[in-house]
């Protein structure tokens, strides 16, 4: 018995001495973390040398714009554990959705504890999915969708995983959790999506660091970048010659062997490329550095981009770790200029009720935005209503959140609008009250998921305030696509914010599981906003209102009062 106690005491002393020298996150990870496949055993930087500095960056803000399978998520997990264990501070780990947070908690976090004896004994409470306690400190694992998930959680370390998939306003809310802390760090990682959005937006304001290493042939410092570092062999995705592709030094042209990567990358360093805000360290890593992805596989994926816009986006985002936007994915200022005609927002109003087909779209907010549109019939357009009319924007207005309801009613009468569609949030009750006041001439609307259908579902008709549910991507494409097809005109005094909001909408693709039971993700079309977008949505609601308007010329709003 005495012998066992002596052994236990010796182990305790040894553990204490080991812990005392683990002053950096990278050293801590190598000593405390155990990993499973594909690299089982103690955590090592052998196959992910670029991640060492990511562990040890303690700038107020650090971001990593990454390719898939770069091992960066494990860096984020290790930082969370290190902060709890050594720094004795609370951590908030944020993922895009509650489901993603739950899956992360059960799989990544659970696996880390199961494989690492030290971590298993560190945590005293692991039963709750979203809260893990080490005793005095807490790890909060939350989804970014709900505001309540991110409130009342004061922490010193905030980690955002897959930043581009999180709602921007929720990120701001999460960052407030650092307020009032003496020691605070923001750390975000993400595969990028589109330019000047999410992680790429942060990266542009950062040190923009590249992982550089000495070429084993010429000794010059180089980086692996596409396409300069690649010798492409083959001419189609299925070409067996793709396997002959290889990496080369951009200085001397020497071949860089895939199997030698552990040797020439182990001494690599991060090099800032711009003189930027020193408070933000930005890192970028791509799959050319990967030990598990061969040059031939990368080339094959690249050759597959010529047949599919989805493949092109996937290659740039997930393989190169770069943002991507396809041609024609957004409305440009030039397209709006081409739509300008010689009339103003002060042009003549209808002379009598119902003589013109006019609708209104309204997007709520601190500055509610209203678009008034007239619909001009097109000959031989077929049965599709949107195709049967061209759009003439008559007026664009912005009103304060308290003013909008009175002014919206005045605009309905002033323009003798046949129908108005109003965003349901944030003031649903006020929107419903407006619809009841203009019974039969107004509806509230909400966007639904990504089904790419023009179907308009209607509920609550009997309350006098119908609720319309529509597909976001389809209707934004219908309304904004008019600028490309030249089926819309705007007044010469169109406000600048209208132009800005329309141009902020970007058509792109994302991969989702359409059903919780799905094992594979499906690429679906979506719109992402680069900034304020209220006018774009107001224009879209006016388009939806066209499909709900009463028979042309048969109603007079003047009779409502």
- In this prediction, residue 381 carries a pLDDT of 61
CB 445: neighbour CB atoms within 10 A? 25
- In this prediction, residue 313 carries a pLDDT of 94
Q: Is residue 388 predicted with pLDDT exceeding 70?
A: yes
- In this prediction, residue 517 carries a pLDDT of 54
Of the candidates 209, 214, 318, 320, the residue with the CA atom closest to the CA atom of residue 260? 214
* CA–CA gap between residue 84 and residue 170 (Å, rounded): 24
- In this prediction, residue 38 carries a pLDDT of 86
Under a CB-based contact definition with an 8 Å cutoff, are residues 417 and 372 in contact?
Answer: yes
- The mean per-residue pLDDT over the stretch 478-499 comes to 97
**Residue 44 pLDDT class (50, 70, 90 cuts):** very high
Q: 521 or 15: whose pLDDT is higher?
A: 521
* CA–CA gap between residue 247 and residue 232 (Å, rounded): 9
Q: Is residue 482 predicted with pLDDT exceeding 70?
A: yes
Q: What percent of the chain has pLDDT over 90?
A: 65
∠495-501-505 over CA atoms, to 5°?
Answer: 155
**Structure confidence by residue, pLDDT tens digits, 70-122:** 999 999 999 999 999 999 999 999 999 888 888 888 888 888 988 999 998 99
- In this prediction, residue 556 carries a pLDDT of 45
Sketch the domain layout of the chain as residue ranges.
Answer: 333-559
**Residue 11 pLDDT class (50, 70, 90 cuts):** very low
- In this prediction, residue 294 carries a pLDDT of 96
**Structure confidence by residue, pLDDT tens digits, 155-186:** 888 999 999 999 888 888 888 877 767 778 99
Q: 297 or 513: whose pLDDT is higher?
A: 297
Phi-psi region at 262: left, alpha or beta (left = phi > 0; alpha = psi -120 to 50): alpha
Q: How many residues does the chain have?
A: 561
- In this prediction, residue 513 carries a pLDDT of 60
- What are the beta bridge partners of residue 285? 66
CB 346: neighbour CB atoms within 10 A? 10
* CA–CA gap between residue 242 and residue 301 (Å, rounded): 10
**Structure confidence by residue, pLDDT tens digits, 421-455:** 999 989 999 999 999 999 999 999 999 866 667 88
**Residue 6 pLDDT class (50, 70, 90 cuts):** very low
Under a CB-based contact definition with an 8 Å cutoff, are residues 192 and 198 in contact?
Answer: yes
What pTM does this model have? 0.84
Q: Which CATH class is domain 333-559?
A: alpha beta
**Structure confidence by residue, pLDDT tens digits, 362-385:** 999 888 999 999 999 987 666 788
The most confident of the ranges 159-173, 379-393, 405-419 is 405-419
The Cα-based distances of 162 to 35, 41, 322, 389 in angstroms read 22, 27, 14, 42
Give the range among 188-192, 278-282, 408-412 with minimum mean pLDDT.
Answer: 278-282
- In this prediction, residue 424 carries a pLDDT of 92
Helix (H) or strand (E) holding 511: strand 505-512
Under a CB-based contact definition with an 8 Å cutoff, are residues 158 and 92 in contact?
Answer: yes
Strands, E assignment, 30-166: 34-35, 41-42, 61-66, 91-95, 131-133, 138-143, 157-161
Of the candidates 276, 268, 275, 282, the residue with the CA atom closest to the CA atom of residue 223? 268
∠336-310-450 over CA atoms, to 5°?
Answer: 75
Q: Is residue 521 predicted with pLDDT exceeding 80?
A: no
Of the candidates 555, 558, 550, the residue with the CA atom closest to the CA atom of residue 443? 550
Give the range among 21-25, 161-165, 300-304 with minimum mean pLDDT.
Answer: 21-25
The most confident of the ranges 394-408, 443-457, 509-523 is 394-408
- In this prediction, residue 561 carries a pLDDT of 32
- The mean per-residue pLDDT over the stretch 274-278 comes to 71
- In this prediction, residue 51 carries a pLDDT of 97
């Amino acid at each position: 018995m005495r012998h066992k106690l002596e052994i236990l005491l010796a182990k305790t002393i040894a553990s204490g001495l080991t812990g005392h020298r683990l002053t950096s996150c990278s050293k801590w990870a190598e000593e405390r973390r155990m990993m499973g496949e594909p690299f089982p055993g103690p955590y090592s930087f052998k196959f992910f040398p670029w991640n060492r500095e990511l562990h040890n960056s303690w700038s107020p803000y650090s971001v990593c714009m990454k390719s898939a399978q770069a091992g960066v998520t494990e860096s984020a997990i290790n930082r969370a554990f290190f902060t709890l264990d050594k720094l004795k501070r609370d951590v908030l780990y944020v993922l895009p959705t509650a489901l993603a947070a739950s899956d992360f908690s059960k799989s990544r976090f659970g696996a880390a504890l199961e494989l690492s004896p030290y971590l298993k004994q560190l945590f005293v409470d692991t039963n709750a999915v979203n809260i893990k306690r080490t005793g005095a400190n807490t790890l909060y694992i939350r989804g970014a969708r709900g505001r309540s998930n991110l409130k009342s959680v004061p922490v010193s370390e905030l980690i955002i995983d897959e930043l581009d998939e999180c709602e921007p306003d929720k990120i701001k809310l999460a960052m407030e959790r650092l307020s009032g802390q003496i020691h605070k760090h923001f750390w975000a990682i993400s595969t990028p999506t589109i330019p000047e959005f999410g992680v790429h937006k942060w990266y542009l304001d950062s040190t923009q660091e590249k992982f550089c290493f000495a070429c084993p042939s010429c000794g010059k410092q180089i980086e692996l970048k596409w396409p300069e570092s690649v010798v492409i062999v083959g001419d189609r995705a299925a070409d067996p010659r793709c396997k002959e592709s290889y990496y080369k030094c951009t200085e001397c042209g020497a071949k860089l062997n895939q199997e030698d990567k552990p040797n020439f990358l182990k001494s690599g360093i991060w090099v800032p490329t711009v003189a930027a805000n020193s408070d933000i360290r930005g890192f970028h890593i791509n799959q050319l550095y990967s030990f598990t992805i061969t040059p031939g596989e990368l080339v094959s994926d690249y050759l597959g981009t010529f047949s599919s816009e989805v493949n092109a986006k996937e290659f740039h985002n997930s393989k190169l770790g770069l943002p991507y936007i396809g041609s024609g994915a957004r409305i440009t200022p030039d397209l709006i200029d081409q739509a300008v005609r010689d009339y103003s927002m002060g042009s003549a109003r209808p002379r009598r009720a119902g003589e013109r087909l006019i609708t209104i779209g309204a997007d709520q907010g601190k500055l509610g935005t209203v678009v008034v549109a007239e619909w001009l019939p097109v000959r031989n357009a077929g049965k599709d209503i949107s195709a049967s009319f061209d759009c003439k924007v008559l007026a664009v207005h912005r009103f304060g959140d308290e003013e909008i309801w009175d002014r919206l009613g005045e605009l309905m009468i002033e323009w003798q609008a046949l129908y108005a569609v109003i965003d349901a949030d944030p003031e649903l009750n006020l929107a419903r009250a407006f619809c009841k006041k203009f019974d039969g001439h107004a509806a509230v609307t909400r966007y639904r998921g990504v089904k790419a259908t023009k179907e308009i579902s209607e509920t609550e008709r009997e309350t006098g305030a119908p609720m319309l549910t529509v597909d976001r991507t389809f209707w934004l494409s219908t309304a904004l696509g008019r600028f490309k097809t030249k089926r819309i005109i705007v007044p010469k005094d169109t406000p600048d914010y209208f132009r800005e909001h329309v141009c902020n909408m970007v058509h792109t693709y994302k991969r989702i599981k359409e059903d919780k039971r799905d094992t594979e993700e499906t690429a679906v079309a979506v719109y992402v906003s680069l900034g304020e977008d209220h006018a774009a949505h107001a224009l879209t609601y006016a388009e939806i209102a066209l499909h709900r308007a009463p028979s042309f010329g048969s109603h007079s709003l003047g009779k409502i009062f």
